[in-house]
Structure 1
Amino acid sequence: MPAPLIPNCPSGLEYLTQIDQLLVHQKVELLEAFIGFETKNKYHIKNSMGQKIFNAIEDSDCCTRACCGPVRPFNMKITDNEEQEVINIYRPLKCQLCCFPCCLQSVQVTASGIVCGYIEQTWSLCKPKFNVCDSSGETVLRIKGPFCTCSFWGDVEFQVLSRDRDTQVGRITKQWSGLARELFTDADHFGISFPMDLNVNIKAVLLGACFLIDFMYFETKQ
C-alpha cells in the first residue's frame, strides 16, 4: 500500500515526519579493518527502536578515497528498504584547513531531485560551527561542536541550536562504540535528535550534517 501523500514532503521522506530521532550506524568493513584499504562507507539508519528505515552507501572511486582520505568528495546515496533512492548528499572537494576561512566544508542535500537544503561550515578557530540552510540558502538552524572532538572514552555532542543560538533544539552525538571498535576501525555510531514538528526537509539536511561531521572529525582511526 503506497504511503499517504504529505504536503510539501518529498517522496520517500514521509516516515521522517513521524519521528524525532535517528540512529546512524556505520558498518565495519573487514578489508579496511585488517589491511587499512579505504573502502566505501556504508551505514544503516534506524529509528529509536533500532528498526532499519534507510541504508546509506558512499559513491566514490578508489583513487579518490586513497588520495584524498577524509576530505574526499562523495555522493552519499540513501535508499529505503526497497532500495529506492530517497536522499542524496553531495559533498564537493575542498581543502580542510581550519586556519583559513576559504577552506570551509559544505554539503547539498536533495530528495527526489528537489533541493532540501545545505550544510555550510562557518569559520571558527576553536570550535566546529555550521549553518543549517534551507533550499534558498537561508540559515534556519546552527550547529556548534565541542572544543575537543576526540571520541576516545566518551560521546561527543554537537549541539543543534536555533538560528539566534539562544535555544538548543537537538543534537548530533558521536557515540562511544567500545574500545576495540574505536582503536581499530573508523566505523562510527551516531544519534541525531530534532523537534518532531521540524520541517521534513531540514530533518534530511541534519542527516547530511551527520555524514559531513563523520568525515571531517571521525573518519580516521583514533
Structure 2
Amino acid sequence: MQSNRSAPPAYPGPPYPAPQSQHGFPLYTSNLDNYISGSAIPAQGTTVFPGNPLRYGATPFQSQPIVTPAITWMPAPPIPAKCPPGLEYLTQIDKIAVHQQIEILEIISGYETCNRYEVKNSMGQMVYFAVEENDDYNLNCYGPLRSFTIKLFDCTMQPVMQLSREYQCAICCCPCVCCLQELEVQAPLGTVIGYIKQKWHPCLPKFAIQNVARKDVLKMAGPCVPCRYYSDVHFEVKTQDEKSTIGRISKQWTGLAREVAIAATNFEIEFPLDLDVKMKALILGSSFLLDFMFFEQRQRRQQQS
C-alpha cells in the first residue's frame, strides 16, 4: 500500500541553534545546512543541495569552482500495515550505520555543541538525519550527563522519531533508581513505542528494551567499556531468556588520531530483517544512549589530554 501522506509543510527553522559566531569562531556548517534550514527539500534518490557552502562571511576564490556534495537518500518503500509513519524504511534493512558529524567548533574551542548524526543503510544511502535539541547552559554545564531530545528526520523533512532522556547523576555505584539511565522513544512524535532502561550492575553495561507498557522484551549487554581501548566495542542484543542473540550494536574503533582529535562516534547496528519494526527503532535509539553514556565523555577526556 502506497503512502498517502500529504506534502510536508514548510519547515519552520533549524532544530538546533541558528548559525552564528560564538567566541570568535564561525559555527560549523556542513553540506546538510540547506537541508536543515528548509531552503532545499531533498527528493528521493541523488540530491544536490544548492547554495554556497562557504557562506557566513567567507568569500570563495573566483577562480575555484565550488563543488557541492551529493547526498543519496534511500527510496521510500510502501508503508506496511500497523507500521508507524516514517519507520517503513527500517522494514527493508538489517544493518544500519550511525555516524556522528564532526563539529569544528568543538575541536577548536572545546565549546560543546548539539550533536548531529547521519543514519545510513548498508549501501551508504541516507535513511535519517538526527539532530539534538538543547540549550547552551545544558550543553556546557552537564556535558554527556545532560538531558537531551534527539529528533530523526527523513528525506521529506518530516520528524519520524524522537528520543528523550532526562538528567540523571550517574556517579554512584549503589543500585538506586536516580542513577539509572532511561531513554524514551516516540514514533511518530507524541506516540511512545518503548523505552531503553539501564539495569544496575557494578561494572558492566546492562539494559532492558521495553515496550510501551514498560514490559521487558529484549536485553542488551556489553563489556566493561573503560577497559576496552583500540578495538571495537560490541553490545549484544538478546532475547528475554538470553538464550539467543538477535542483534548487535558495535561502536567502531576509527584509529587513534581520529578518536582523540575529532571525537565523533561511529556505530554499526545489526538485527534480523524480519524483526518487528518497533524493536528495530528501539535498538537504533539505544545507540544514541550508549554514545552519551560511554563514549562522549571518554572522547572529551582524550581530547583535553
Alignment-derived partner of residue 65 in structure 1: 139
Larger Cα-atom Rg: 2
Shift of 1:179: 1.9
Q: How many residues are treated as equivalent by the alignment?
A: 222
- Residue aligning to 2:104: 30
| Mapped contact 1:119–1:132 kept (Cα < 8 A) | yes
Task: After superposition, give the CA deviation of every residue in 1:93-128 in whole Å (9 maximum; x if it has no partner).
Answer: 111135022210000000112211100000000210
How much does 1:208 deviate? 1.2
Alpha-carbon contact 1:151-1:174 (below 8 Å) kept: no
Q: Find the residue that maps to 2:161 and give its secondary structure.
A: strand
Does residue 76 of structure 2 align to residue 76 of structure 1?
no
2:296 pairs with 1:219: yes
* TM-aligned CA deviation for residue 7 of structure 1: 1.5
2:90–2:277: 8 Å Cα contact kept in structure 1?
Answer: yes
Give the C-alpha shift of residue 195 in structure 1. Answer: 1.3
1:28 maps to a residue whose letter is I
- Kindly state the Cα deviation for residue 153 of structure 1 after the two structures are TM-superposed: 1.4
Shift of 1:188: 0.4
CA separation of 1:206 and 1:98: change in aligned 2, threshold 3 A: farther
Structure 2 match to 1:174: 251
Q: Secondary structure at the match of 1:219?
A: helix
Report the alpha carbon displacement of residue 151 of structure 1 after superposing the two structures with TM: 5.3
Match of 1:109 in 2: 185
- Cα deviation 1:150-209 (Å, max 9, x = unaligned): 553110001111111111111100001122210123210001111111111111111111
Map 1:151-166; keep pairs closer than 5 Å: 152-166=229-243
Could you list the per-position Cα deviations for residues 33-85 of structure 1 after superposition, in whole angstroms to 9, with x for gaps in the alignment? 11111110000000011111100011111100111110100110000022110
Q: Please show how residues 103-142 of structure 1 align to structure 2 within 5 Å.
A: 103-112=179-188, 113-142=190-219
Partner of 1:90: 164
Amino acid at match of 1:169: I
Aligned residue type for 2:233 = V
1:184 paired with 2:265, answer no
Query: What RMSD in Å do the two structures reach over aligned CA positions?
Result: 1.4
State the partner residue of 2:94: 20
CA contact (8 A) 1:53 1:80 kept: yes
Question: Are 1:52 and 2:126 matched, yes or no?
Answer: yes
Q: CA deviation at 1:149?
A: 4.3
Per the alignment, in what secondary structure is the counterpart of residue 157 of structure 1?
A: strand
Please give the TM-score of this superposition, normalised by the length of structure 2: 0.70
Could you tell me how far apart the structure 2 residues matched to 1:68 and 1:87 are? 24
Q: Is the 8 A contact 1:22 1:45 kept in 2?
A: yes
Residues of 2 paired with 1:26 and 1:174: CA distance? 11
8 Å contact from structure 1 (residues 151, 176) kept in 2: no
Please give the alpha-carbon distance, in whole angstroms, between the structure 1 residues aligned to 2:87 and 2:230: 35
Moved beyond 4 Å, runs of 4+: none
Change in Cα spacing, 1:182 to 1:207, as seen in structure 2 (3 Å) is same
Q: Which moved more, 1:145-154 or 1:184-193?
A: 145-154
Are positions 1:195 and 2:269 aligned together? no
Cα distance in 2, alignment partners of residues 218 and 148 from structure 1: 9
The partner residue of 1:39 within 94, 105, 113 is 113
Q: Which runs of 5+ in 1 are unaligned?
A: none
